Amino acid sequence: QSALTQPASVSGSPGQSITISCTGTSSDVGAYKYVSWYQQHPGKAPKVMIYEVTNRPSGVSDRFSGSKSGNTASLTISGLQAEDEADYYCSSYTTSTTYVFGTGTKVTVL
């Protein structure tokens, strides 16, 4: 299984909105409503920010939102803050009953 495709980097100024894309295939992203997004700060374990495409776990800021269209899922961060600077990974359940992660996106707050 191939990793889902994400842009290597995305940047924005404080207060702006940014969107990270996650492109897969009809065997993963396009097949199920099981896409999650993870935030990872340097040296730390990943933290789930979005699950099942659009759901936010308790405690995650509502500035984070998710969506999906066809084989591409997206994570939007609105009102960008310095603390949002991190690496972000998407993941999807697949028709092979396994999971696949995205290539990762480094978010920089200018």
Partner 1 sequence: QLQLQESGPGLVKPSETLSLTCSVSGGSISSGYYYWGWVRQPPGKGLEYIGSISYSGRTYYNPSLKTRVTISSDTSKNQFSLKLTSVTAADTAVYYCARLISGGRFDPWGQGTLVTVSS
Which residue ranges make up the site for partner 1 (CB under 8 A)? 1, 3, 33-36, 38, 45-48, 51-52, 57, 89, 91-93, 96-104
Query: What value does the CA radius of gyration of the chain take, rounded to a whole number of Å?
Result: 13
Q: Please report how close the Cβ of residue 16 comes to partner 1 at its closest, in angstroms.
A: 25
> Toward partner 1, which CB reaches closer, 23 or 92?
92
Residues 62 and 68 sit within 8 Å (Cβ to Cβ): no
HSE of 3, CA atoms in CB hemisphere, 13 A? 10
Q: How many residues appear in the chain?
A: 110
For tokens 């702006």, what's the residue?
16
> Toward partner 1, which CB reaches closer, 16 or 54?
54
Q: Please report how close the Cβ of residue 12 comes to partner 1 at its closest, in angstroms.
A: 22
Instruction: Report the distance separating Cα 83 and Cα 18, nearest Å.
Output: 14
> Toward partner 1, which CB reaches closer, 19 or 34?
34
Q: Please report how close the Cβ of residue 61 comes to partner 1 at its closest, in angstroms.
A: 16
